[in-house]
A and B are shown apart, each in its own frame.
Chain A
């Protein structure tokens, strides 16, 4: 009864092509936004922000970025960790170089810098495809991490080789550093997450997104019907790296505060983000959120169940986490290759026909 197109008449073209054509979907979207913006900041505390909300929001941005490249444009990348590191270090250099500029500008600029680096490492994709490209992006991963480790200009010649986020604010509210408020960091990340999701969603609905999908489905055929592979692939790399760079900057500056590049932005980070989009659903913005939520929540839930309830040692729970994640990926690929997003789609289809399925 609730979930119908019937009775929802569009009278203008913009109305007809809006993101959520069904009224119920639209209201659900507004309700989620309302809760995220108006309710959550007043009820959260440090623990929830640090263990759940912030990683979720930041990983969601990274997953959206990778999803654009892998899910929409079909170019598998294992270099996400490296690009996140670019965002983090760009943000660090900007923060220390221009202390009086707002953090918003810094984070956006780090995204742009990462986009440039992404285009550079995306150039080989014009010649290399599939697995070969996946390995080529590993070159980006290892080279970038090595570079940030070795070239001391990037970490301002500090003795430890770490980068530490200094205290910076935006509109007079402290965003980074040790003495931030939970709601401020949460809101800061949330703004970027919403921004990324809206931009990504609209890009993928438009001409550019169709070009990406044409390249993904078959690049030679796409070229024949007039899609420029150079433009499509490089824009995909640029947009994807832009989001990944933003998430890297937030991950370093707002979430962790101090970063040792090999540990935080190593190859495991690339795989984690890849798992998010596989489990969530390739080629779906909602899937990026679902996957990020899933991968972020799983260790927390396992820790609560395993360590707090059953009293097992933490290392066993960590290993179990690996087993479960691995198993889930295989199960998902077998049962539902399109991930959680597809389950959601199927549920919506069912809901539209309910209660008369025939």
Chain B
């Protein structure tokens, strides 16, 4: 059944592309977790917030316009200018760095040495806070994000595969761009971590906080750096997801999808995040196509990733690439 096979290959490729996007979010988790042991639930909301801010800056929206209007009875909505995409991305990045500093200064400085689960819950609180602030600042309506990325079906691939196999593959241009960006991002992060002074300090902190402190690495600075990097990753993820499906609340839910990705790949491994993302992306698309839609009534994508991670964890609790968990009394 070559037709069926061609379908399956197409689903496989689309799954890979979706996996890349999951991996993008998972990457932000891994960065923060490695450096500070904080499992940052707010990563998805950070992506949402970054995308909202980007749209807001580009469109020249007045921040907190609704709130100001409600309090003072004014009618302001827009500054009336349009900012080019690159400048807006730069401004958004500055805001994300500021956000990292605030988070470090006002939250996690006071929680140093607390149990991981307390830190995790603090990030859940942070996620709610950030979501509320994002909505208050820019409004909660669905926005379209257009930073000039190509969209729509890739005609070249469609024609080539049609000529070769008699069936044209439908691959979105945006997904291809997203994969390229993700590859660049990972390469950039690896180079940064391996070859720059700050990157080395970051790895030192990840390895051992106290040892890093004792050789003169500033923990505070590194943590702000790491949160900023995670903010940058969130911005990239926000742009990609935002361009794909609009900037809306559901964007923050991809953070939940990134969790099983991390489980599979291991919390502490950057390649693990990528591989995990690809496995989950391909797995859930193939499962939906081959088993879910024909036999189970569809929409299995909602839970497949978690079930896969659950079953996987029972056999290998530290994930594919994670460090072995050793517990002592």
B152 contacts across to A, CB distance below 8 A = none
Q: How far is the CB of A246 from chain B (nearest CB, A)?
A: 25
Q: Is B303 part of the contact surface with A, judged by Cβ < 8 Å?
A: yes
In-complex Cβ contact of B313 among A128, A271, A278, A316 (8 A): A128
Q: Are B136 and A221 in contact, CB atoms less than 8 angstroms apart?
A: no
In-complex Cβ contact of B309 among A135, A321, A326 (8 A): A135
Q: Are B307 and A315 in contact, CB atoms less than 8 angstroms apart?
A: no
> CA–CA, A259 to B298, complex, Å?
21
Q: With A135-B306, A146-B299, A313-B70 as given contacts, are A325 and B313 in contact (CB-CB < 8 Å)?
A: no
Q: With A132-B313, A146-B303 as given contacts, are A218 and B329 in contact (CB-CB < 8 Å)?
A: yes
Residue on B with the closest CB to A149?
A: B299
Question: What class of interface size applies to chain B in its complex with A?
Answer: 35 or more
Q: With A150-B296, A323-B132, A334-B107 as given contacts, are A316 and B67 in contact (CB-CB < 8 Å)?
A: yes
In-complex Cβ contact of B128 among A312, A313, A322 (8 A): A322
> CA–CA, A243 to B66, complex, Å?
42
Q: Are A330 and B125 in contact, CB atoms less than 8 angstroms apart?
A: yes
Q: How far is the CB of A150 from chain B (nearest CB, A)?
A: 4
Q: With A128-B317, A316-B66, A322-B132 as given contacts, are A333 and B140 in contact (CB-CB < 8 Å)?
A: no
Q: How far is the CB of A335 from chain B (nearest CB, A)?
A: 9
Q: Are B132 and A320 in contact, CB atoms less than 8 angstroms apart?
A: yes
> CA–CA, A175 to B120, complex, Å?
40
B296 contacts across to A, CB distance below 8 A = 150
Q: How far is the CB of A139 from chain B (nearest CB, A)?
A: 3
Q: Is A94 part of the contact surface with B, judged by Cβ < 8 Å?
A: no
Q: Are A76 and B329 in contact, CB atoms less than 8 angstroms apart?
A: no
> What is the 8 Å Cβ interface bit string for chain A, positions 155-168, against chain B (1 contact, 0 not)?
00000000000000
List residues 125-161 of chain A with CB under 8 A from any CB of chain B: 127-132, 134-136, 138-139, 141-143, 145-146, 149-151
> CA–CA, A256 to B110, complex, Å?
41
B136 contacts across to A, CB distance below 8 A = 316, 319-320, 323
List residues 271-295 of chain A with CB under 8 A from any CB of chain B: 271, 274-275, 278
In-complex Cβ contact of A124 among B253, B314, B327 (8 A): B314
Q: How far is the CB of A275 from chain B (nearest CB, A)?
A: 8
Q: Is A36 part of the contact surface with B, judged by Cβ < 8 Å?
A: no
Q: Are B125 and A130 in contact, CB atoms less than 8 angstroms apart?
A: no
> CA–CA, A354 to B262, complex, Å?
53
> CA–CA, A150 to B131, complex, Å?
30
> Of B75-83, B111-119, B143-151, B235-243, which stretch is located at the interface?
B111-119
Q: With A319-B140, A323-B136 as given contacts, are A139 and B303 in contact (CB-CB < 8 Å)?
A: yes
A138 contacts across to B, CB distance below 8 A = 256, 259-260, 306
User: How many chain A residues touch B (Cβ–Cβ < 8 Å)?
Assistant: 51
Q: With A128-B313, A143-B303, A313-B66 as given contacts, are A220 and B117 in contact (CB-CB < 8 Å)?
A: no
Q: Is B8 part of the contact surface with A, judged by Cβ < 8 Å?
A: no
> What is the 8 Å Cβ interface bit string for chain A, positions 299-316, against chain B (1 contact, 0 not)?
000000000001111011
A218 contacts across to B, CB distance below 8 A = 329
Q: Is A337 part of the contact surface with B, judged by Cβ < 8 Å?
A: yes
A131 contacts across to B, CB distance below 8 A = 39, 116-117, 120, 267
A116 contacts across to B, CB distance below 8 A = none
Q: Are B300 and A146 in contact, CB atoms less than 8 angstroms apart?
A: yes
Residue on A with the closest CB to B313?
A: A128
Q: Are A139 and B310 in contact, CB atoms less than 8 angstroms apart?
A: yes
Residue on A with the closest CB to B110?
A: A334
Q: Is A327 part of the contact surface with B, judged by Cβ < 8 Å?
A: yes
A145 contacts across to B, CB distance below 8 A = 302
Q: With A130-B117, A221-B329, A329-B122 as given contacts, are A323 and B129 in contact (CB-CB < 8 Å)?
A: yes
Q: How far is the CB of A252 from chain B (nearest CB, A)?
A: 21
Q: Is A328 part of the contact surface with B, judged by Cβ < 8 Å?
A: yes
> What is the 8 Å Cβ interface bit string for chain B, positions 289-320, against chain A (1 contact, 0 not)?
00000001111101100110110011001000
List residues 128-161 of chain B with CB under 8 A from any CB of chain A: 128-133, 135-136, 140
Q: With A130-B117, A135-B263, A220-B327 as given contacts, are A142 and B306 in contact (CB-CB < 8 Å)?
A: yes
Q: Is B121 part of the contact surface with A, judged by Cβ < 8 Å?
A: yes
Q: Is A267 part of the contact surface with B, judged by Cβ < 8 Å?
A: yes
Question: Apart from A326-B130, A330-B107, what 12 extra A-B contacts exist at CB < 8 Å?
Answer: A135-B262, A142-B303, A149-B299, A316-B67, A316-B136, A319-B132, A319-B140, A321-B132, A322-B128, A322-B129, A323-B129, A333-B114
Interface residues of A (CB under 8 A from B): 76, 124, 127-132, 134-136, 138-139, 141-143, 145-146, 149-151, 218, 220-221, 224, 267, 271, 274-275, 278, 310-313, 315-316, 319-330, 333-334, 337
Enumerate the 7 nearest inter-chain pairs by beta-carbon distance, A residue then B residue, closest first. Answer: A326-B129, A329-B125, A322-B132, A326-B128, A323-B132, A139-B306, A142-B303
